[in-house]
Every structure is written in C-alpha cells, then in structure tokens.
C-alpha cells in the first residue's frame, strides 16, 4: 500500500507527571511509540514519519534502536515550536515532501490500534471519493471524547467536544472521535496552510482540516473501528495501566486460541513480539518480554521473567529470571535461577535452585543443581557441579574463562580460579580451590590438613 503514516509524538504528556516522553512509556515491555510504528509497518505503509518534539532525542533513540534493520525506514521530523497538531502535520509535509497518496495521521499514544485498522483506514481515502476521514469508535464510557454528528448522507456534519455537548447530545451521540485522520495527500498539501490559530490556545488544530476541505467542495467521512479498543489513548498513569491490562487480555486470548494454557490469564504478561508453542502451560506471575520465543510442551513459572530469551521444547522454567539466554530442548531451570546474557543451555541441561549463570555454555545433560555461580565458562556434556561451586572469573580487571570437559564431577564448594581448564572425566574434591589445569581423568584435591585439638570446645565454653 503506497500510503504514508504520520505519527504525532511531540507532546509533553504533562498528565503523566514524568521526566520522560509520554510515548516512551512501556506497555508489556515495549514503548508505546513502537507499538504504533509496528502497526503502520504491518499495515503496509510505504513511509512512516514520526514527529518528535518533547524529549526528542529520547524518542529518536527508541526508534533508531528498534528499526535499524527494518525494511521500512522510520523517519523523524522535529516540531521545534509545538503549535498544535495541524502545525505538526505541516512540518512533516514540508520536511518530507508529501504530496500524494493516502496519508494517515495517528497519535503516538494510541498503542492498541491494529494493523488491519490502519490499512482499512488508509483505504477510505484511496480512490478519490473522500478527501478525508476521521477515525471513530464507540467506547463503553464515551465521556471526555469529542462526539461525531453526521449528515444524512453519512458524512461528518461536525465534531462536538465534550465540554460543548448538551446533556441530550452526550446521551445520543455515541460515535466518538479517536483524534486520528486520513487524508488524500494532494488535498492535504494543498489546504494544510489554511488552518488558522484563531482559538483560545492560539494553536493550529488538525480537525479544522475537515471543515476546510468541506468548504472546498470535498467530501469527508468517518471510519468506524469495529474494536473500540483500537481508539483508546493514554494520557495518565491510570490509563497506561488500563491499556496494559487490555493488551494483556488481547494477547493471552490469542495464545489460548493457539493451544497455550494459562492457569490464570490475568496474571501472565506476554509482550507483543513474544511467541509461545502449543501445549505449553503458563503459570501465574510469568512475564515474557521482548524477543522471547518459547517452544511446545513447556512449563513456564510461576514467578518467571524471560526477556529476549529463546526456549526450546519440553523445558521447565520455574521461578527464573532469564535475560538474552538460549535454552535448548528439555532444559530445567529453577526455582530461583538467574540466567544472564550469553547463557546457552544445551539439551537436557539444568540450572537449579539459587544458581546464577552468565555468558556460559552448559553442555548436553550437564547439571548445576544448586547454590552455584558459573561465569565465562564452556562446559562439556554430562558434567555435574556440586553445591556451592564458583568460577572465580574476575581478577579485578579482566573476566577470565573456565573450561570443563565432558563427564567431569565438580565437588561441592569448589572454587575454580580462572583462567583454568579442567579436563574430561576428571574429579575435583569438595572444598578445593583449583588454580591449575586438571588433566583428563585426574582427581584434583586442594585441602589443608585437618587439625583436632582435644577438649578445646569444653574449655572455651567453660571460660564463658
């Protein structure tokens, strides 16, 4: 679809009471601005232009990081003087040379709008019948929204703001304005300069374009959202929480329809970019955020948080925090495991209770059952790490590697002082500090002689 999306993201968002841009606030781990940009790209828009203003650098950084590899370049234009929505669109038109095709103007705080809605909205003005269309919806509670009054032919007669509605209009006019507009690009460019700031705020308001186009003999209409949730915006922390709950319910309903079990779908938070395989069970207080992908027949949670993590089939992830990790098939984690970036757990491996792993490969069938830290380590298959064992990988300046060969047994409370290599089929005795390489098949012991002083405890206690 050869349509242009202009996303208005320059506002201050004062009601959020934040030191950050309103559109940077996250829903299910993803900034609001990225939700709506993704919708426009998925809708097939050939150009996506974001008008930034307040906290412009912060918003630009969010877009640059997220869309560096996108097939569609996400352009940004700064509205240095924030003189209203009409002025913002004029800035975008002049900076980006927009003069033809459908132009969809969307608010950056409208995160739940779906790609199909954007595509159909743009098609409303693609054909020459209408020069403009307003996006409308019918929320359960219409108070606060501008109301749409229609002519007999279905075109827009006028938009009445809530403060100007009579009691009768508040009760009978239920079609609400979502604050988004689609325009024929040529008509928009021709008439955008006719918007005036003759109002109490001395701002240029984009809705005035509807009256201007009608005055020029053009037809304007509405596009009604079948799902009212597409039209809901965020102006406060309370609304942010409300839309987060709606997004959660919408996403979880989708995955349940795909064969995923949620023991309590109101207590599981799955981001829009995460995926879950069928017959996986999601326990309460589970978070799947960012680029997280889970296979089939897994058990997730309770109390697990996975961020940008890849999980294979048949895994159990119980009370685990995992960030940028890879779990292959039949991996068992937790309870209370912490997998830090760079962790790669191969088929059938285990990270048990109170285990932390960072930038390490845990081999096939290898186990780190409890109370251990493994960092900067390459571990072979069939290894067993005893409780309380630590790879001492940091010397105060550098991180150093540890390697552990296949089928090796690490005794409890072993300190492996990196850099160090422990061979295959080796054993380290409990309580040892391993500072030298251990050959294949060897036993490594490092202990001082146990000293017994008879009667010391009796005499010591008697002295108290």
CB 192 within 8 A of CB 87: no
130 is in an annotated binding site: no
418 is in an annotated binding site: no
197 is in an annotated binding site: no
193 is in an annotated binding site: no
350 is in an annotated binding site: no
Q: 286 forms bridges with which residues in the sheet?
A: 268, 304
361 is in an annotated binding site: no
Residue found under tokens 């799947």: 288
User: Do β-strands 176-184 and 132-137 pair in parallel, antiparallel, or remain unpaired?
Assistant: antiparallel
Q: Which of 25, 370, 398, 460 is flagged as catalytic?
A: 370
Q: Give the C-alpha separation, 292 to 274, whole Å.
A: 5
Q: Give the C-alpha separation, 71 to 330, whole Å.
A: 35
430 is in an annotated binding site: yes
5 is in an annotated binding site: no
66 is in an annotated binding site: no
407 is in an annotated binding site: no
Q: Give the C-alpha separation, 45 to 103, whole Å.
A: 9
CB 17 within 8 A of CB 25: no
Neighbours of 225 (CB within 10 A): 23
Please list, residue by residue across 131-150, b when 16 or more beta carbons sit within 10 angstroms of its beta carbon and e when fewer do.
Answer: bbbbbbbebeebeebbbbee
97 is in an annotated binding site: no
CB 12 within 8 A of CB 84: no
H/E element, 36? helix 32-42
Q: Which two tokens stand for residue 286?
A: 């589970």
373 is in an annotated binding site: yes
85 is in an annotated binding site: yes
Is 191 among the catalytic positions? no
Dihedral of alpha carbons 155, 157, 162, 165, sign:
negative
79 is in an annotated binding site: yes
Binding-site residue numbers are: 8-11, 22, 79, 84-85, 109, 146, 161, 177, 235, 340, 358, 373, 384, 387, 393-394, 412, 430, 447
Give catalytic residues, as residue numbers. 370
For the annotated binding site for acetyl-CoA, the residues are: 387, 393-394, 412, 430, 447
Mark the binding-site residues for UDP-N-acetyl-alpha-D-glucosamine, compressed into ranges.
8-11, 22, 79, 84-85, 146, 161, 177, 235, 340, 358, 373, 384
Pick out the residues of the known binding site for Mg(2+). 109, 235
């Amino acid at each position: 679809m050869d349509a242009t999306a202009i996303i208005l993201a320059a506002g201050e968002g004062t009601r959020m009471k934040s030191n950050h841009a309103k559109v940077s606030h996250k829903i299910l781990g993803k900034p609001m601005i990225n939700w709506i940009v993704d919708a426009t790209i998925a809708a097939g828009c050939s150009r996506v232009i974001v008008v930034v203003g307040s906290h412009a650098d912060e918003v630009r950084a969010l877009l640059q990081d997220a869309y560096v590899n996108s097939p569609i370049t996400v352009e940004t234009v700064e509205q240095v003087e924030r003189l209203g929505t009409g002025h913002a669109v004029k800035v975008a038109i002049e900076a980006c040379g927009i003069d033809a095709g459908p132009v969809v103007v969307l608010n950056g705080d409208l995160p739940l709008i779906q790609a199909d809605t954007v595509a159909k909205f743009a098609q409303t003005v693609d054909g020459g019948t209408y020069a403009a269309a307003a996006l409308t919806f019918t929320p359960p509670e219409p108070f606060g929204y501008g109301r749409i009054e229609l002519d007999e032919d279905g075109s827009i007669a006028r938009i009445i703001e809530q403060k100007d509605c009579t009691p009768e209009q508040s009760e009978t006019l239920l079609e609400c304005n979502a604050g988004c507009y689609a325009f024929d690009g040529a008509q928009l460019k021709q008439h955008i300069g006719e918007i005036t700031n003759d109002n109490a705020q001395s701002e240029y308001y984009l809705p005035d374009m509807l009256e201007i186009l009608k005055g020029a003999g053009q037809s304007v209409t509405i596009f009604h959202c079948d799902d009212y949730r597409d039209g809901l915006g965020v102006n406060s922390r309370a609304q942010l929480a409300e839309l987060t709950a709606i997004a959660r319910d919408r996403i979880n309903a989708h995955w349940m329809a795909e064969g995923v079990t949620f023991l309590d779908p109101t207590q599981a938070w799955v981001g829009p970019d995460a995926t879950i395989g069928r017959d996986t069970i999601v326990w309460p207080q589970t978070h799947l955020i960012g680029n997280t992908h889970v296979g089939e027949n897994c058990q997730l949670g309770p109390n697990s948080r996975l961020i940008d993590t890849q999980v294979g089939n048949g895994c159990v992830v119980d009370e685990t925090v995992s960030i940028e990790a890879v779990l292959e098939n039949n991996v068992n984690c937790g309870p209370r495991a912490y997998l830090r970036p760079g962790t790669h757990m191969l088929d059938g491996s285990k990270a048990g209770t109170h285990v932390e792993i960072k930038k390490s490969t845990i081999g096939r069938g290898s186990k780190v059952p409890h109370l251990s830290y493994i960092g900067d380590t390459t571990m072979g298959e069939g290894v067993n790490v005893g409780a309380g064992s630590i790879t001492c990988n940091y010397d105060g300046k550098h991180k150093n590697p540890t390697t552990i060969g296949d089928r090796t047994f690490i005794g409890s409370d072993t300190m492996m002082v990196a850099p160090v290599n422990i061979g295959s089929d080796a054993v380290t005795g409990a309580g040892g500090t391993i500072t030298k390489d251990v050959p294949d098949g060897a036993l490594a012991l490092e202990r001082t002689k146990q000293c017994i002083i008879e009667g010391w405890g009796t005499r010591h206690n008697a002295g108290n």
